[in-house]
Amino acid sequence: MKIDLHLHTTASDGQYSPQEMVQKVIEAGIDVFSFTDHESMEGYREVVREAKVKGLHFIAGVELLVHYKGEEIHLLGYGMELSGTPFLEALEKLKEERNAVAKATVEKLQQLGFALSWSDVKALGHRRGTISKGHIVHALHRCGLLPCTGMEFIKRYLEPKGLAYVQYKASTYDEAVELIRSAGGVPVIAHPGLITEQSLLPELIARHPVGIEVFYAYYGTKRQKWIQQYYELAQSKNLLMTGGSDYHGSFGPVRIGEEEVPEWVFFKLNEAIAKAHHQKAIY
């Protein structure tokens, strides 16, 4: 069984449409997967029936950008039930805020001399999706305005303290965890190795019953070291573990299914989702 629980589509900052991603998942030999688009479930909703017909295990997923003590944290959610509207309505509001931040970022870049229009950026997004820094970088590249590599540009201009950085304040860590749980979902801290202030991780784990993304492909030369480190942490705290490639497209350094995720991750996640659904039903 091949598993990838961290994939992006054009519903946020991925290169390929949800339909194209289903085909790429099949071509990569993936059996279990999840679209974890930023503040959006549109990709999942568009192809959930198609994935089922094709015999794939398709888990509802989302990735939320949150803040905690001044640090940006990424929080994954799995297994949310979409039959009710409050969760989707909350996502819509978060998406609007993310898009407003993206537009303000483009305006800052314009002030810095980049001849990039908001329409250039918006044209790359899904009609009901989220616009983020990935779209901005892609638009700069397409317009011949990117002065360096995408990662270098993000670090210099779009990360906290960057020249064009605009802070997103719409969702706190506590609020995002509760939002996911309110929909019967399982919250998981994404790529913990990318959290700048590592001393915050024990606090995040202690505040709520969350899992952590252990098997992650984007760690570069530190991949195996960090995977082992967070695996041991998860074992010691009896935390749910997930994993995936964080694939955004052919322009990125990883491939679909690049990181090997053990089969037991799927079964443990299914158990956690079933438990979350049961708890939601009680309340």
* Same domain flag for 24 and 149: no
pTM of the model: 0.92
Identify the residue whose tokens are 């990181």: 259
**What's residue 282's pLDDT?**
63
Contact in structure between 227 and 101 (CB atoms under 8 Å): no
Mark which of 116, 136, 158 sits at the end of a domain: 158
Residue 166 is assigned to a structural domain of this protein: no
* Same domain flag for 270 and 181: yes
Residue 232 is assigned to a structural domain of this protein: yes
Task: Tally the domains of the chain.
Answer: 2
Specify the CATH number for the domain of residue 97. 1.10.150
Residue 164 is assigned to a structural domain of this protein: no
- Full residue range of the structural domain in which residue 72 is found: 3-83+171-282
Specify the CATH number for the domain of residue 266. 3.20.20.140
* Same domain flag for 199 and 229: yes
Residue 70 tokens read as: 């001044």
* Same domain flag for 114 and 179: no
* Same domain flag for 135 and 102: yes
The gap from C-alpha 84 to its chain's centroid, in whole angstroms, comes to 22
Residue 163 is assigned to a structural domain of this protein: no
How do residues 18-44 score in pLDDT, each as one tens digit?
999 999 999 999 999 999 999 999 999
* Same domain flag for 37 and 98: no
pLDDT at 283 over 70: no
Residue 190 tokens read as: 């994404």
Sequence-ordered list of residues with C-beta below 8 angstroms from that of 213, at least 6 positions apart, any chain: 6, 76, 188, 189, 190, 191, 192, 230, 241, 242, 243, 244
Tell me what the pLDDT averaged over the chain comes to.
Answer: 93
* β 211-216/61-68 pair status: unpaired
pLDDT at 101 over 60: yes
Q: Dihedral of CA 221/200/162/191: which sign?
A: positive
* Same domain flag for 217 and 176: yes
